[in-house]
């Protein structure tokens, strides 16, 4: 199938570009051209001060003349006068000079793409002039998934390019080596800002005849359930892991974003039912990393807030295995936002506390007097089974029986539901209409804002 434009990257450093027009349209084009290191000659009856004061621009206050295109590397017509644009295009083409006319594809030899700049990595996106807004939209989506540090990685690869050529004479061997480097530990060091470690690792791989890769563990918070709440870094690591260990709280839509050919190991845990004991999970992470694999430990919420993340990386640190921790939106923040319940509010709560609904030994031995203090919001994780006792204990230690309370089921997902009541009424509410785990409980006056601020339309039970 024929295409309208063939993509090329034109080196314009030191060359002169003619821009016809001196308004806002011309300014946008000049801004792009200057980044390529070219000289800009501007011809127009009136020229913006921002253009005139730019030392990279030579301005001439007059109408366009046909001879202006002579000797130019590129001509850009950036006026809003159709007749002028047409004349500029005709003169440039007659002189054999490439021309771009803004918003007039039929008058163009070249068009300006939407650009993602990760110098020296440059990505251009075009709709062949047919739908520039769509091209910009696609650029915005790609911008969010391509870290700024990709440019640093490209520069590092450039410094080693000749040495790699000398080390690996066959093109296939070089390609295999670079695939290992650019999708492995070296790249992760760069993304994390550890440039010195990245260079040392690349040196090590270059000297290693088998260039085996050191394993690494990515401890990633998957958030409360909505895949749109994943961080860019989380998504990138999910796409490059060799094996993933995931638990019950990771939703299916999020798991679908993991690299397709990655090995998946379910290690789900729920109250009194651990598919894999925690000590076994810790050991498996270590063993897989020692095999040279990139291991993704995907956890619901945030790994450092009731996620046992500290326990899982402690063994890795002891054995010197590299790891990264990527925070996720914790359930308290996600569920509160998606139900219109601000965790703090100047009129209702000046502090917030996150509390686990059951301790390691299964008890509910909590600092109840502190939790019963007014003017604070208390959020209970994993407290569904013990909720009647939680309500009773808070009342016994001084919290008013009519204190508002909300129980959120499967927050941020399409199955989200909310039970709203008081400390006195909530036990009966859930007894007659039992929620399903996972749930989160929010206690405090801020719950009264739910009905008015429920922007996500969560299904609410009385």
Does 411 show up as a binding residue in the annotation? yes
**Torsion angle in degrees (nearest 10) through CA of 271, 454, 233, 138:** 140
Residue among 51, 39, 48, 47 nearest 64 (CA): 47
Does 151 show up as a binding residue in the annotation? no
* Chain-centre distance for alpha carbon 267: 26
Does 401 show up as a binding residue in the annotation? no
Strand partners, 441: 380, 407
Does 320 show up as a binding residue in the annotation? no
Q: How far apart are CA 258 and CA 237, in angstroms?
A: 9
Instruction: Pull the structure tokens for residue 345.
Output: 């509010």
Does 382 show up as a binding residue in the annotation? yes
Write down the catalytic residue from 109, 155, 269, 461: 269
Does 66 show up as a binding residue in the annotation? no
Instruction: Pull the structure tokens for residue 458.
Output: 């969560």
Q: How far apart are CA 443 and CA 407, in angstroms?
A: 9
Q: How far apart are CA 68 and CA 5, in angstroms?
A: 26
| Long-range Cβ contact pairs of 396-402 (< 8 A, separation 24 or more) | 396/368, 397/368, 397/369, 397/371, 397/372, 398/369, 398/372, 399/371, 399/372, 399/374, 399/423, 399/443, 400/374
Q: Output the DSSP codes for 119-162.
A: TTEEEEE--TTS-HHHHHHHHHHHHTTS-TTHHHHHHHHHHHHH
What b-and-e string marks burial along 301-338, b requiring 16 or more CB atoms within 10 Å of the CB?
A: bbbbbbbebeebbebbeeeebbbbbbbbbbbbbbbbbb
Q: Which residues contact 432 (CB under 8 A, 6 or more apart)?
A: none
CA atoms lying within 13 Å on the CB side of residue 398: 9
Whether residue 461 lies in the annotated active site = no
Between the CA of residue 49 and those of 52, 78, 393, 449, what are the distances in Å? Answer: 5, 16, 70, 51
Q: Which residues contact 170 (CB under 8 A, 6 or more apart)?
A: none
Residue 349: which region, alpha, beta or left (left: phi > 0; alpha: psi -120 to 50)? beta
Does 300 show up as a binding residue in the annotation? yes
Place of tokens 């409360």: 224
188 in helix, strand or coil? helix
Whether residue 247 lies in the annotated active site = yes
Q: How far apart are CA 310 and CA 286, in angstroms?
A: 14
Write down the catalytic residue from 68, 226, 242, 247: 247
Give the residue ranges of the annotated binding site for S-adenosyl-L-methionine.
224, 300-302, 305, 330-331, 382, 411
* Residues recognised as catalytic: 247, 269
Q: Which residues are annotated as a binding site?
A: 24-25, 45-46, 224, 300-302, 305, 330-331, 382, 411
**Which positions make up the binding site for NAD(+)?**
24-25, 45-46
């Amino acid at each position: 199938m024929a295409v309208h434009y063939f993509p090329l990257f034109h080196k314009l450093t030191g060359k002169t570009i003619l821009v016809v027009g001196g308004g806002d349209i011309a300014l946008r084009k000049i801004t792009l051209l200057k980044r390529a290191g070219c000289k800009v000659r501007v011809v127009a009856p009136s020229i913006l001060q921002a253009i005139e004061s730019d030392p990279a621009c030579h301005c001439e206050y007059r109408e366009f003349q046909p001879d202006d295109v002579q000797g130019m590397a590129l001509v850009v017509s950036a006026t809003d006068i159709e007749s002028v644009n047409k004349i500029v295009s005709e003169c440039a083409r007659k002189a054999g000079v490439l021309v771009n006319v803004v918003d007039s594809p039929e008058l163009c030899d070249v068009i300006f793409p939407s650009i993602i700049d990760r110098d020296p990595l440059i990505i251009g996106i075009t709709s062949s002039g047919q739908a520039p807004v769509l091209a910009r939209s696609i650029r915005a989506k790609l911008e969010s998934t391509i870290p700024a540090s990709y440019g640093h990685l490209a520069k590092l690869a450039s410094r080693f390019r000749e040495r790699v050529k000398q080390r690996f004479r066959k093109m296939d061997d070089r390609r295999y080596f670079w695939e290992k480097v650019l999708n492995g530990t070296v790249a992760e060091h760069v993304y994390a800002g550890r440039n010195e470690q990245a260079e040392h690792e690349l040196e090590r791989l270059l000297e290693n005849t088998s260039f085996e890769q050191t394993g690494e563990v990515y401890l990633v918070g998957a958030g409360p359930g909505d895949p749109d709440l994943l961080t860019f870094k989380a998504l990138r690591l999910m796409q490059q892991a060799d094996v993933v260990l995931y638990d019950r709280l990771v939703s299916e839509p999020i798991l679908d974003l993991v690299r397709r050919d990655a090995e998946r190991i379910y290690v789900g845990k729920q109250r009194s039912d651990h598919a894999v004991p925690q000590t076994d999970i810790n050991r498996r992470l270590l063993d897989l990393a020692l095999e040279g694999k990139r291991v993704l430990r995907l956890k619901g919420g945030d790994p450092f807030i009731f996620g046992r993340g500290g326990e899982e990386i402690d063994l890795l640190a002891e054995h010197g295995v590299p790891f990264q921790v990527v925070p996720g939106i914790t359930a308290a923040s996600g569920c509160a936002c998606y139900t219109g319940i601000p965790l703090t509010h100047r009129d209702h709560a000046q502090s917030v506390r996150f509390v686990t609904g059951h301790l390691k030994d299964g008890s509910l031995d909590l600092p109840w007097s502190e939790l019963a203090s007014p003017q604070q919001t208390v959020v209970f994780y994993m407290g569904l089974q013990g909720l009647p006792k939680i309500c009773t204990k808070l009342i016994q230690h001084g919290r008013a029986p009519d204190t508002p309370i909300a129980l959120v089921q499967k927050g941020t997902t399409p199955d989200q539901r909310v039970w709203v009541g008081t400390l006195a009424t909530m036990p009966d509410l859930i007894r007659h209409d039992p929620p399903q785990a996972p749930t989160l409980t929010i206690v405090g006056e801020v719950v009264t804002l739910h009905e008015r601020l429920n922007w996500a339309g969560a299904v609410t039970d009385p």
